[in-house]
Amino acid sequence: MKTIKQYLKFVKPYWWQIIATVLIGIVKFAIPLLTPLILKYVIDGIIDESTLSQSEKLRDLYWLMGIALTIFLLVRPPVEYYRQYLAQLVSSKILYDIRDKLFDHIQKLSLRYYSNTKTGEIISRVIHDVEQTKTFVVTGLMNVWLDLTTILIAIVIMLTMDIPLTLVAIMLFPVYGVAVKYFYGRLRRLTRERSQALAEVQGHLHERVQGMQVTRSFALEDHEQELFDDRNKNFLDAAISHTKWNAKTFAVMNTVSDLAPMLVIAFAGYQAITSSLTVGTMVAFVGYMERVYSPLRRLINASTALTQSIASIDRVFEFYNEPYDVVDRENATDIGTVQGNISIENVSFEYDKDVPVLKNINLHVQKGETIALVGMSGGGKSTLISLLPRFYDVTDGAIKVDGIDIRDVKARSLRNNIGMVLQDNILFSDSIATNIRMGNPDATMEEVVEAAKAANADGFINDLPDGYDTLVGERGVKLSGGQQQRVAIARVFLMNPPILIFDEATSALDLESEQSIQQAMEKLASERTTFIVAHRLATITHADRIVVIQNGEIQESGSHEQLMQQKGNYYDLYQVQDFNHTE
């Protein structure tokens, strides 16, 4: 299976540790196999040995038990410790490597994927499903081989004692094989369905916790409870179906394993009565039945656990194999530091096939020029600026920076030259200083403070209880909208990029915050190539050029004064906003 092969690639660096763990485990499981042999020798070689006196029997018993105690008390404990330690160590390292790769994968997935996938479901795969795969390493790659080796050693010892009795002991093995094939195919499918149902519950829960304010404000608690109950019930049904089939599996398997010792006792008793089978051999055989069928039962349990684990592996690598929309070409190079000349040439774009969002856009921007994009909602303004840092690749045409097609350079090197301030800037639940340092993780504290001053943020930061060490809470919830925007602008100051993008950066703010942020944005935009998406037209009248985009096409382009004189779409938009009623 493809997913198993992919998983084994993560296992490969640790093969020697796994082999060492299995070898140590063989010693650990082989030691208890001595117990039935010891019991047989005590019965047949000491108690029933008529040629030995009582003192000789006691002497042999003491020597035998002394050796046995030495093995069980001095050898077995460290063997057990290192087997458990190495098994957990290796499996934990493998899971660490997988999660590390998955996080790298998460950062490369397109925004299109995130717009169609719930965050909670992604988290479920990276945390819950990856953890479930640990069973595949510990059980599938280690314990299964140990149990098989234990069974094999026990059968070899039994064969040396009595071949016919051994054949009776293992005659039900084929029944096990048929039952495993019958039960575990369906069990894997049911396990996968249960995991998917759980992921849906987690995804819904994550989304609703984030939107709790909306639920409260519209008094939707009862409605949301019903929606959650539907998903929770779906998981319950999947869990019950899985449990029923699992219970049937165990009922059949345990019945078979309970019958086997009965067959051995019956046949051994018959041999002991009618032939020369010794009591010690019979007792040893019954002891070995436990040593054979106990690991066999563990193998059956392991089959259940492995079925669940493999279902999780399928889900993990289904996510891991999700293709990227934006991929660097093989010969892609670092673009270095750019000047800021941008050419948008015949660019068209569509999120879904045959549903164009942008149509044949042409726009040439000189270094240091400020371009404002305006128009009705849904016209394609935000889509256009999302193409500049290659959040998406154009469907047709090309975007060039300093004459270089941005698809010919590494996306990360391109984004190092672009600073973005959005309407809803994400702040992480860390300190203000850490959030500002996202613009430059290596910046000194002095540089952080200077960036904050340039963004008009230093004042309110110093008024906070812990200043720059103040924790902002999840998504910056402890700060006002204006304060969040100033922190976001500060990190762009710290980044110091040649190209800027402001996407509705002031649309959700009060007038006072807007004026403060407007000043910071104008300072930041000085001598940089700047794109501004805005609905409030009064905030972009200073732009070198205003581009009106309607229905994915450029309708008008020019300065504020030029467009007002044309009395076209821009003029109408400006009049609707009731700013300057200039004829």
Backbone torsions φ then ψ of 171, nearest 5 degrees: -65, -20
pLDDT at 582 exceeding the cut of 60: no
**Of 434, 543, 539, whose CA–CA distance to 494 is shortest?**
434
Residue whose structure tokens are 């035998």: 64
Mean pLDDT of 463-489: 81
Judged on CB neighbours under 10 Å (0-12, 13-18, 19+), 147 is: buried
- pLDDT at res. 581: 43
More confident position, 279 or 317:
317
Q: Where residue 364 falls among pLDDT bands split at 50, 70, 90? A: very high
Is the pLDDT score of 583 beyond 70? no
SS3 track for 473-513: CHHHCCCCHHHHHHHHHHHHHHHCCCEEEEECCCCCCCHHH
Relative orientation angle of helices 511-525 and 481-495, to the nearest 10 degrees: 10
Average pLDDT over residues 306-332: 84
The identity of residue 414, as a single letter, is L
Helix (H) or strand (E) holding 342, with range, is strand 342-352
Q: What is the crossing angle of helices 511-525 and 445-454, to 10°?
A: 120
Residues whose CB is less than 8 angstroms from the CB of residue 290 and which lie 6 or more positions away in sequence, other chains included: 261
Question: Do 316 and 326 meet the contact criterion of CB atoms below 8 Å apart?
Answer: no
φ and ψ at residue 14, rounded to 5 degrees: -115, 20
Q: What is the pLDDT of residue 578?
A: 57
**C-beta of residue 384 within 8 angstroms of C-beta of residue 373:** yes
User: What mean pLDDT is predicted for residues 137-155?
Assistant: 82
Q: Which residues pair with 374 in a beta bridge?
A: 548
Residue-wise over 529-553: b if at least 16 C-beta within 10 A, else e? bbbbbbbebebbbebebbbbbbebb
CA distance 561 to 571: 10
Residue 324 predicted with pLDDT over 60? yes
Q: Is it the case that residue 508 has pLDDT exceeding 60? A: no
List of residues 6+ apart from 206 with CB closer than 8 A? 118, 119, 120, 123
Which H/E stretch holds residue 58?
A: helix 54-70
Tokens of 211: 């939107």
Nearest-10 crossing angle of helices 144-161, 279-320: 160
pLDDT digit string, tens, across residues 209-251: 767 767 776 677 888 888 888 888 888 988 888 888 878 877 7
* 377-425 per-position pLDDT tens digit: 778 888 898 899 888 888 899 999 998 999 999 888 888 888 888 777 7
pLDDT at 514: 62
For residue 401, the 8-state DSSP code is: E
Distance CA 78, CA 68 (A): 16
pLDDT of residue 267: 83
Nearest one of 113, 38, 27, 142 to 76, comparing CA atoms:
27
* Burial class for 418, CB neighbours closer than 10 Å (0-12, 13-18, 19+): buried
Question: What DSSP designation does 220 have?
Answer: -
Residues 6+ apart with CB under 8 A from 367: 339, 340, 341, 498, 529
CA–CA dist 423, 509 (Å, integer): 9
Q: What is the pTM of this model?
A: 0.70
Q: Residue 217's pLDDT is what? A: 67
Give residue-wise pLDDT tens across range 157-166: 888 888 888 8
Contact 380/337 with Cβ under 8 angstroms? no
Burial class (CB in 10 A: 0-12, 13-18, 19+), 220: middle
Burial of 94 (0-12, 13-18, 19+ CB in 10 A): buried
In the sheet with 553-558, reading across from the earlier edge strand, the strands are: 418-422, 499-503, 529-533, 370-374, 545-550, 553-558
> By three-state DSSP, how is residue 559 classified?
coil
| Rounded Cα gap, residues 198 and 284, in angstroms | 48
pLDDT at position 34 is 78
User: Among residues of the chain, what percentage have pLDDT more than 90?
Assistant: 4
- In percent, how much of the chain has pLDDT > 70? 94
**Cα–Cα distance between 566 and 548 in angstroms, integer?**
13
Residue 101 CA: distances (Å) to CA of 91, 137, 257, 282, 402: 16, 18, 42, 55, 34
pLDDT tens string 545-568: 999 888 888 888 888 888 888 888
Answer whether residue 513 shows pLDDT above 70. Answer: no
pLDDT higher than 70, residue 580: no
**Is-contact 472 427, C-beta < 8 A?**
yes
pLDDT band at 343 (very low <50, low <70, confident <90, very high): very high
313/96 Cα distance (integer angstroms): 15
Distance of CA 431 to the CA centre of its chain: 25
Closest CA to 386 of 354, 362, 359, 351: 351
